Structure 1
Amino acid sequence: MSQLTHKNVHNYFKLNGYHLNADDLCRVGYSFIKEGDVYERAIGEFFLDWFDEKDYIEMTTSGTTGLPKLVRLEKKAMIQSALATGDFFGLEPGNKALLCLPTQFIAGKMMLVRSLILGLDIDVVSPSTEPLALNTTQYDFVAMVPLQVQNSIEKLKNVKKLIIGGAKIDSALEEKLLPLKTEIYETYGMTETITHIAAKKVGERAFSILPNVRITKDDRDCLVIFVSSISEEPIVTNDLVELINDNQFVFLGRIDNVINSGGVKLIPEQIESKLIGKITNRFFVTGVPDSILGEKLILVIEGEKQDFAPDFFDVLGKFEKPKEIVFVPKFKENENGKLLRKSSLV
């Protein structure tokens, strides 16, 4: 396995039902760039980048660990990531896979790398919000963002294993997924870690790390990740975690979102989890400047104004109850369907 290079294409690999080698894929790449749709052009560019002489691919990070920046991802590290995913999820040569994510981003690129290296039979479709709408194919392995999953509940019976990334799964979606026979995992990762370094089955509390990953936390209680195949330096995140053991952690929230209200530190994600199911519209809690408290906690709800009974917030602790409720017609999101809290308030 250690002798694998980015020039290798597994004998079982198929693209849209066709066995193709590296030369074939470069020709497909040129054709996609010249004549394909937007999503096909991105796939074409990836193939030409992957099979060129460089030992890295350049990408812009998502900004999870700081401001977005240009990074170089080593192709050999991407191969190791694909192998770790194969081990963790029990993927086998010939398994049927679906790429329905944009290939401009790391998650889409890695679905192709996994297919090339592990020998998956992958179909590629336009990365729409309803990727399974007109599709009756049975798939062994699919990756989606939460919005795509929300719109595909009825069709997930055709998927054996589903991984969800790009944004956190909220409790309302999780409840819909629990009864399904599909093996469904929420993943944790970022561009810098070459997609996921940990995953958990829906319904479970803690993430389990993939092979060849080590974790710890810093003095802020934020997760620190060690993946020797990717970086000699630790990857320091802004994600507050509870470490269960050497192999498992619980995600608590983003340190960027923490609200300091009158000296009390509040984690929005923890407060929001208590309100799931009680508020039908999308919502989040955040802090806004306050002359007395420094920051005051507010509840932001998508949609028209509504009233709440006096005891509505009794599920919350004394300091967790919002000082104000703000209604916003439509929340703003990024390409992955991740809610942009600050922008939604503007």
Structure 2
Amino acid sequence: MFRSHLNSIFVSHCDDSLFYDVERKQSISYSVFLCDVKKVIEKIQNSYEKSLDIVSALNNNYTTLVLYFAAFMLGRRLILIEPLKGKNEFHKMLAISNNPVIFCDIVGVDSLHFTSEDINKWIKEELSRNSQYFNLDIETSLIHLSELVTFTSGTTDVPKAVLHTFDNLAQSAISFSKQMEFDHHNIFIHTFPMCYMAGVLNSFVLPLFLGGKCVIGERFGINTVFSFWDNVISNDVDVIWFNPTMLEIITKMFKNKSEEISKYCVDKKVLGIVATAPLTEESWKNFENIFSLPLYNSYGLSETLFISTNAPKFKNYSSVGKILEGVDVKILEGSEVGLKVKWRCIGYLNNNIENNLEGNYYKSGDIGIVNKQMLHITGRIKDLIIRGGLNINPFVIEHILKKSIGSNYVIIGAPDRILGEKILMVVEGNKLDTSLRTLNKLLEQELGNEFKIDEIKTIDKIPVNSNGKLDRKNILEKLNDIKN
């Protein structure tokens, strides 16, 4: 059904703008995008017809989205890897693929692969009318057979590979859009990393199923923050996806220019949706007051996609929003939030999802309550560190460091106003002879830049629970006691 729906969007909006590419200063229509996709399909099919998987570790740009949609229309499995990963981590993730075609922008990777620049060259070529793909449309494509794999943090040194169908993405996007009352007039901006689920579902698939428009901005970061509002205002953007770290940085950097930004947000009726990590009520209200931009906190997981969202018709500062149509939430033992959705992932490629299920409900690892269909998240069972909107698994860091410095330490998350949580290394006594700089150099090489430790603190004795296991939850309390 969704193939017909998507095909009709491309037909009815063929001459409308689908993307504006900030980097190339170019508008791309639905028909031009589909033509570029066909060119990439032809290149892949001519040389790699028997390849089962397409692996992408590409930077944020238009050509990356062309590759994604080409993979979907070919009915292939698309595996996404963070291009900021170290090459060792890249090869670990690559191991789950089956006879892949590799597209990679990671410097130093020694596998045979293509880059973003190769795709850019392909789409500059003409597609011959004699090509068997010239008349290919979405309804006759294999998009219904395609799969998407994104990585999330697991409990080992290899992240879990979450497997979804394109149908899952479509259903989730349509349900979310319905609750937010989006339509084809909305203009989104894409600043999330394209290698994670939020960069595919929130900022690409969702606008596509609306027949809307998406501005392809730069991946948000300290180096790109100064052009953020220029890209929003110059392209008439009226829907912005944020994460809590973005909100804190933008508030700090643009507080003195808030009058001009506020005027634009009011005139264009701009709204912001917050995803990827919890948002505090203080940060929420502070941002709205400064920029006159209403925010709507939402909730979802890589495994379950969209679950709930606040919206203009129902907004609660203590809630992650109203539960979406197609979602069933059940509070399990220990107040853990259980999720049953039509678009739950098929499973993990490198792990057993049954361990995360209770009947038909996915165990979220979050603690919460439901009140009048509004979901409230009150805590987190998992030990994951959510740093700047990214899930960081502390066990991965400990596993790497154990080879070099032993195990008289623990990695935990500590509250941080800018990042949400920072990575804290707590060392027992004064048993650390290695500098923070040396440790981070090792972590960056093995795992990537996002795994670097933010701070080191010492404690007389690392607490353990009754089972003799590290009591991570109690460590911060002990550090605070020492400070006081």
Match of 1:216 in 2: 330
Residues 1:177 and 1:65: Cα distance change in structure 2 (over 3 Å): farther
- For these two proteins, the number of residue pairs brought into alignment is 286
Structure 2 counterpart of 1:322, one-letter code = N
Counterparts in 2 of 1:25 and 1:109: CA distance versus 1, 3 Å = farther
* Equivalent of residue 103 in structure 1, options 194, 197, 201: 194
Match 1:120 to one of 205, 212, 219: 212
Counterpart of 2:367, as a letter, is L
Residue 256 to residue 134, structure 1, CA distance change in 2 (3 Å): same
With the length of structure 1 as denominator, give the TM-score of the two structures.
0.68
**Change in CA separation of 1:220 and 1:142 when aligned onto 2, cut-off 3 Å:** same
Q: Which amino acid aligns with 1:115?
A: P
1:164 maps to 2:274: yes
User: In the alignment, is the contact (CA less than 8 A) between 2:164 and 2:345 conserved in 1?
Assistant: no
Residue equivalent to 2:150:
60
Structure 2 vs 1, CA of residues 205 and 15 (structure 1 numbering), >3 Å: closer, same or farther?
same
Equivalent pair of 1:56/1:72 in contact (CA under 8 Å): no
Deviation of residue 2 (structure 1)? 5.5
1:291-306 equivalences in 2 (<5 Å): 295=471, 297-299=474-476
Between structure 1 and structure 2, the one with the greater Rg is: 2
Q: Percent identity?
A: 15
Of the candidates 353, 358, 375, which is equivalent to residue 249 of structure 1? 375
Verify the 8 A CA contact 1:218 1:224 in the aligned structure 2. Answer: yes
- 1:152 maps to what in 2? 250
Structure number with greater CO (CA < 8 Å, separation at least 6) is 2
Checking the alignment, whether the CA contact within 8 Å between 2:186 and 2:239 is kept in structure 1 is yes
Given that 1:64 and 1:238 are in contact with CA atoms closer than 8 Å, whether structure 2 keeps it comes out as: no
Q: 1:85 to 1:48 in 2, by over 3 A?
A: same
Which residue in 2 is equivalent to 1:83?
174
Describe how 1:1-346 pairs up with structure 2 within 5 A.
4=4, 9-10=9-10, 11-12=12-13, 14-16=18-20, 17-21=27-31, 23-26=34-37, 38-40=59-61, 41-52=63-74, 53-54=142-143, 55-63=145-153, 68-110=159-201, 111-129=203-221, 130=225, 132-135=228-231, 136=233, 137-153=235-251, 154=254, 157=262, 158-159=264-265, 160-179=270-289, 180-194=291-305, 196-200=306-310, 204-207=317-320, 208-230=322-344, 233-245=360-372, 247-257=373-383, 289-290=462-463, 295=471, 297-299=474-476, 322-325=480-483
Q: 1:163, CA displacement in angstroms?
A: 1.0
Residues in 1 aligned to 2:464 and 2:163: alpha-carbon distance in whole angstroms:
44
Q: Could you tell me how far 1:4 is from its partner in structure 2?
A: 3.8
Determine the C-alpha separation between the residues in 2 that align with 1:68 and 1:282.
Answer: 19
Structure 1 residue 3: deviation in Å? 6.0
Output the amino acid matched with 1:243.
V
Q: Which residue identity is paired with 2:19?
A: L
- Structure-2 change in CA distance of 1:184 and 1:116 (3 Å): same
Q: CA deviation at 1:65?
A: 9.6
Aligned equivalents of 1:292, 1:71: Cα separation in 2:
32
* 1:297/1:324 contact within 8 Å kept: no
* Deviation digits for residues 70-96 of structure 1 (CA, Å, limit 9, x no counterpart): 232111121111111211111111211
Residue-by-residue CA offset, 1:213-254 (whole Å, 9 max, x unaligned): 110121121111111243694221110112324x22211111
Distance 1:72 1:292 in 2: 35
Aligned-residue Cα RMSD (Å) equals 4.0
Change (3 A) 1:183 1:92: same
1:185 maps to a residue whose letter is Y
Q: Amino acid of the residue matched to residue 66 of structure 2?
A: G
Distance 1:44 1:84, change over 3 A: same
C-alpha separation in 2, matches of 1:148 and 1:324: 32
More helix by share: 2
Q: Could you list the per-position Cα deviations for residues 121-160 of structure 1 after superposition, in whole angstroms to 9, with x for gaps in the alignment?
A: 1110111222614322332212122222223344763451
| Structure 2 residue identity aligned to 1:38 | N
Q: Is the 8 Å Cα contact of residues 296 and 310 (structure 2) preserved in structure 1?
A: yes
Separation (CA, whole Å) in 1 of partners of 2:178 and 2:71? 26
Amino acid at match of 1:289: I
- Residue of structure 2 in register with 1:332 after alignment: none
Give distance in 2, aligned partners of 1:95 and 1:320: 49
Which ranges in structure 2 are unaligned for 5 or more consecutive residues? Answer: 21-26, 45-57, 75-141, 347-359, 385-411, 427-460
CA deviation profile, 1:164-199 (whole Å, cap 9, x unmatched) = 1122223552242232432211221111122x3112
Paired residue secondary structure (1:39): coil
Which letter maps to 1:20? Y
Aligned 8 A contact 2:369 2:376 in 1: yes
Q: Could you tell me which amino acid in structure 2 is paired with residue 241 of structure 1? A: G
